[in-house]
Chains A and B, each alone.
Chain A
Amino acid sequence: MEHILTPKVEEVKLLDRYTAKKPAIGTLYLTATHLIFVETSCNTRKETWMLHHLIATVEKLPLTAMGCPLHISCKNFHVAHFVISSERDCQNVHQSLVRLSQPGKVEELYAFLYNPKQDEDERRNGWGFIDSAMDFKRMGLPNEFWEMTDLNKNYELCSTYHSELGIPKTASKGTVFGSAKFRSRGRIPTLSYYHKESNAAICRCSQPLSGLSARCVEDEEMLQAISRANPKSTFMYVVDTRPKLNAMANRAAGKGYENEDNYSNICFQFVGIENIHVMRNSLQKLLEVCAMKSPTMSDYLTGLENSGWLRHIKAVMDAGVFLAKAVAEDKASVLVHCSDGWDRTAQVCSLASILLDPFYRTIKGLMVLIEKEWISMGHKFTQRCGHVDGDPKEVSPVFTQFIECLWNLMEQYPCGFEYNEKYLLEIHNHVYSCQFGNFIGNCQREREEMRLYERTFSVWPFLWENRHQYRNPLHKCSLGREVLRPSTLPLNFKFWCGMYNHFDKGMQPKQSILDHLLTITQKKAEGEKKMTDLQIQLAVMDGVLADQGSPTGTPPEQTSLSPVSVSHTAENAKPLMNGAAVEEAEIELVPTAGSEKMEPVAIEN
């Protein structure tokens, strides 16, 4: 690889971020795809892997007495502080990583190299594993009010939408095309979720090109058609997820929001979620809080407040709750948009779907939801995740916020979800790692042009295969079709230590209830299997069943995932005496390796 100037550096120190513990010493390797740190200072061979594409920033700091510090922070919030003795080596590693972490073009991403040893059939089946069109069937569509149309099959109606769109039956082709002209980037109102029980629908689109006074008959007809598709309701909500001020500013640029006077029977509402730039800056501030060295409680809480992060999470959640309430309680349809309708709109629609429909609270259901509301509706993953070198102003943690809202819901409803926190973290990891093709590209058309389905693999079958790890042992199907009505009082939102300090194992609970319960349920499954085996044996001996000799099936071949980013896994949890004895200048109390009992740690290599 031409970008790797120094493939191997010895005597590198890996500093611990929070404790005054002795740094680990080891060898740093740069491969075509990963940075690998192999610790040589301890007896157990401990490896830290970092995928180049996960690296968000790499920073070389001024030379110190110890050597030349190199700070690496990843998009999955893994942070590593290395110290390299030779400045020249550090310079080389830095230069290589800067290049490797910012591929110039999409084709350089890991997904195009990654080969899980599957044949073409398996690859094709893998891509077919999740079909978002099937989800509309599950909702009972098409029906007397809604149809699935292929008006966008060549992406002529809207280049950033999927080819198959749900629209009201009464909307004519002319209406649809007319409305597309009046919506930013042709993103017409289209079906997101249909609530069978109430006939109410959630639709999504981009802002109207209303400017200061423009109107469009077709667009008005389109909204009326959506409204009519829910005959029991006399009105529909139009929700603009932006702050009112932002929406008004857009009017001057020929865009804007719906004028209630022009549309019949709409109830217009702003919900005030900030734009991608505010969110990006907010996350930046949050990460600064996470990276603080021995902060006081007051530093931390003030930092948390000043970052505004939880305020934004709450705003997204509030909007999701508003939508779900409109559909489930008012039984009214809702049309949602922001500016382009691919960020805030995606967050809010998918959250509302989860609140309304228990299917999305299952392992497979969440895959479908992400496929449907994010991938096929044109959330710009390549740009928002900064997969390739590009405009840093397009990067924003929109998807991360959605996942965090979901985690907050799971905290409020510990029995309500089939999946657990690890599943969310794993999905989040894959969104940024580009090991699989799903989250590459900004829209469906781009993905087809890149021939992703032939050149990369889909992540869903792999997650599905490992689903036992992602199960929530407390999940109760009996909650049935219950609509979730979470409380959005501020005190219900917590800082997500498991996400933002995930790699700082010392901060996590040292024993995991989840792992404990998963082990128990797994043992139970094994016990059940044993019982069935014994029952069969008994039956055979009783002569009820014929002896089949050997076991009937062999276990399916295990396909292993290559590590995306693994760290601190084999290591014992260190007592995090952040601020305890460590702060004391008078005495040197250096905590040695923890003696506490360790539960197995989440990530498997």
Chain B
Amino acid sequence: MFLCSHFILTQPVTFLVKHQQRCQEMEFAELIKTPRVDGVVLRRPFLPTVEGTLCLTGHHLILSSRQDNTEELWLLHANIDAIEKRFVGSLGTIIVKCKDLRVIQLDIPGMEECLNIASSIEVLSTLDSVSLMYPFFYRPMFQVIEDGWKSFLPEDAFKDLESMTEEWRLSDVNKDYSVCSSYPPLVAVPKDVDDDTLRKAAAFRHGGRFPVLSYYHKKNGMVMMRSGQPLTGTNGRRCKEDEKLINATLRAGKRGYIIDTRTVSVAQQAKARGGGFESEANYPQWRRIHKAIERSSILQESLIKLVEACNDQSHSMDRWLSKLEASNWQTHVKEILTTACLAAQCIDREGASVLVHGTEGTDSTLQVTSLAQIILDPACRTIQGFQALVEREWLQAGHPFQQRCSQSAYSNSKPRCEAPVFLLFLDCVWQILRQFPCSFQFSQHFLVLLFEHTYASQFGTFMGNSASERSKLNLSQKTVSLWSWVNRPQEVERLSNPLYEANCLVIWPSVAPQSLLLWEGVFLRWKRSSRCLDEAYDEMVHIIQYNNKELQNKVNNLRRQLAQLETEEPLLQTP
């Protein structure tokens, strides 16, 4: 099994007891009416049933079997998306639907116990108070070698940029988050543009998201920037500072491209709400291209439909294909990848700089800028580099993870701001990884792990909606970073791609529908036994890692022996 929750599953029971004691002293105690039930049966697809004791703690649902060798189930309440109750006589059944798309069943003897457990789970899995979240209670059971909170500081990233170009500077105009609440304190901007200009440009961009540097293409010095939409409104407001800011990124006589992730009509409609797009008249050096990446509410609906299609047991091929089509999930994948390819193409092939934005600049914009970097920059295809990319283009860039990931595909409650924006990004990365299986240092396990942790985690990394929120929550002091966990040698090894051979080239994925598959590692993961696929993976690792090394050693050994013999007994050589 390759889930990260594996870690959760195998924590010693002593920990559980301590944990429980602590929790019971706290706010959770009153929420847990029945902390413990014996004789509960756990049913999971493709795994043997387990009978044991069910315990509820403040953050976990735990089922431990009396037999020593069967694994325990540790499920974070935060991972529970929805539950269903059923009763047959006095035997109650709770179906637990998780945010990682797994569905498990618990058979609980006793109607009252079952009802108590169900209501506790319901409350505990939907706690609104951030301060009660598990990362604040979690203490790492591993040695933190490198503090992940300090692994990817903007200052460090800028040092790399400085070594390549002198045209950019790091501005602290947003140091108290007053210019843009969703930006980090430090952003890279053109050297010739002063902070005052930035402030004025920010007032002209949605959410104060003035254009900032996203990526510098070393090969030809072209750049990718991102921002929120310009607030032109219906009467075509303009902002000289904004124009100056983005023009400062163009070389003399060169034109740039503005990629608007919305269709022309959506962008037009935005004008009525004060938004809009850059007009040709005011931005003559820029050519605008509109694409059609959907807004987040539509993406959430798409995820729900896709997961529903995957759970369809009807055995009808037509039904499956038509539901898959109707979910539109693969359409989104294709659209996002296509737009990212376009951005990468403008930079690498056309030798032009690019500005990417949609409406807020926190969702589709980030999908495009981060994927374009995967395509263009080999560093983003390493384990460290990918973390840096997620940190830079998603966390620091202000993707509202907490809002987007508070519910997944099963939730019955009305969606508010939920949307699988980041999951779609991971899906697109997987598509590229599948087409270039030797060009990534990490395997899809890493992508699956990130998917899981964005929805439920013991780490603080994906908490909050922006750098400012994270700093208010003091996460770097009070919680452990996911990167601290990931960057330990054993975890790095687990997430590594055995096929990896550094490839310094640009990798262009195919976006033909035939080339884009449903991401089995996430969507079909619980729909079939993983035995054969795991076995194949292990075999592949075995072939690559062991056979050759051993053999090479043996051959070298023999060579040495032979050479020794030859020098010792030169006479034997001549007949």
Contact = CB atoms under 8 A, between A and B. Distances in A.
Interface stretch (B7-15, B35-43, B328-336): B328-336
A315 to B, nearest CB: 8
A581 B315 contact: no
B561 A538 contact: yes
Given A415-B539, A474-B543, A513-B540, A297 B513 contact: yes
Interface string B331-356: 10110001101100110011000000
Given A490-B319, A509-B434, A534-B558, A596 B508 contact: yes
A520 B334 contact: no
Interface string A522-548: 011001101100110110011000000
A538 B559 CA distance: 9
Given A305-B325, A414-B533, A416-B532, A524 B316 contact: no
Contact of A414 (B317, B436, B536): B536
A524 B547 contact: yes
Interface string B540-570: 1001100110011011001101100110010
B543 A301 contact: no
A415 B532 contact: yes
Nearest to A547: B575
Interface stretch (B80-88, B94-102, B391-399, B514-522): B514-522
B239 interface: no
Given A301-B330, A524-B551, A290 B349 contact: no
Interface string A272-308: 0000000000000000001000011111111011001
Contact of B436 (A290, A511, A586): A511
Contact of A491 (B341, B524, B536, B544): B524
B315 A488 contact: yes
A41 interface: no
Contact of A474 (B289, B318, B518, B536): B536
A297 B561 CA distance: 62
Interface in A398-418: 412-416
A61 to B, nearest CB: 23
Contacts of B281: none
A523 B548 CA distance: 8
Nearest to A492: B528
A265 B426 CA distance: 56
B511 interface: yes
Contacts of A500: 514
Contacts of B548: 520, 523-524, 527
B551 A513 contact: no
B437 interface: yes
Interface stretch (B111-119, B444-452, B482-490, B498-506): B498-506
B220 to A, nearest CB: 13
A537 B569 CA distance: 13
B53 interface: no
Contacts of B437: 509, 511-513, 516
B572 interface: yes
Contacts of A599: 438
A311 interface: yes
A587 B511 contact: no
A517 B540 contact: yes
B59 to A, nearest CB: 33
Contact of A298 (B328, B350, B532): B328
Given A501-B514, A538-B561, A541-B565, A531 B555 contact: yes
Contact-residue bracket for chain B: 35 or more
B532 to A, nearest CB: 5
Contacts of A510: 435-436, 507, 510
A17 B277 CA distance: 35
Interface string A476-515: 1000000000011111111101001100101111111100
A509 B509 CA distance: 8
Given A414-B532, A487-B528, A476 B539 contact: yes
Contact of A311 (B317, B350, B511, B572): B317
Interface residues of A, number: 79
Interface string A413-432: 11110000000000000000
Given A510-B436, A513-B437, A591-B349, A576 B510 contact: yes
A415 B318 contact: no
B153 interface: no
B106 interface: no
B435 A493 contact: no
B330 A297 contact: yes
Contacts of B283: none
A580 B503 contact: no
Contact of B513 (A301, A308, A490, A580): A301
Nearest to A590: B349
A512 B436 CA distance: 8
Nearest to B340: A580
A225 to B, nearest CB: 36
B439 interface: yes
Contacts of B532: 412-416
A491 B519 CA distance: 11
Contacts of B558: 531, 534-535, 538
B196 interface: no
Given A301-B513, A524-B547, A595-B505, A537 B535 contact: no
A247 B513 CA distance: 38
Nearest to B552: A527
A579 interface: yes
Contacts of B257: 587
Contact of B512 (A18, A493, A512, A531): A18
A298 B331 contact: yes
Contacts of A507: 510, 512, 514-515
A504 B512 CA distance: 11
Contact of B342 (A304, A512, A584): A584
Contact of A520 (B328, B342, B544, B572): B544
Given A305-B318, A310-B317, A597-B505, A300 B528 contact: no
Given A296-B331, A415-B536, A473-B543, A594 B508 contact: yes
Interface in B383-408: none
Contacts of B507: 510, 596
Interface string B300-313: 00000000001001
Contacts of A530: 555
A580 B341 contact: yes
Given A305-B321, A415-B535, A581-B345, A300 B513 contact: yes
Given A415-B536, A579-B512, A580-B341, 19 more contacts: A290-B514, A298-B325, A302-B322, A305-B325, A310-B317, A415-B535, A474-B543, A490-B315, A490-B316, A492-B524, A507-B510, A511-B436, A513-B499, A516-B499, A523-B548, A531-B551, A576-B508, A578-B512, A584-B342
Interface of B: 257, 287, 289, 310, 313, 315-322, 324-325, 328, 330-331, 333-334, 338-339, 341-342, 345-346, 349-350, 434-439, 499, 503, 505-518, 524, 527-529, 532-533, 535-536, 539-540, 543-544, 547-548, 551-552, 554-555, 558-559, 561-562, 565-566, 569, 572
Which A-B residue pairs are the 3 nearest by beta carbons? A575-B508, A300-B513, A414-B536
10 contacts: A301-B324, A304-B321, A305-B322, A488-B315, A516-B499, A534-B559, A577-B511, A578-B510, A587-B287, A591-B508
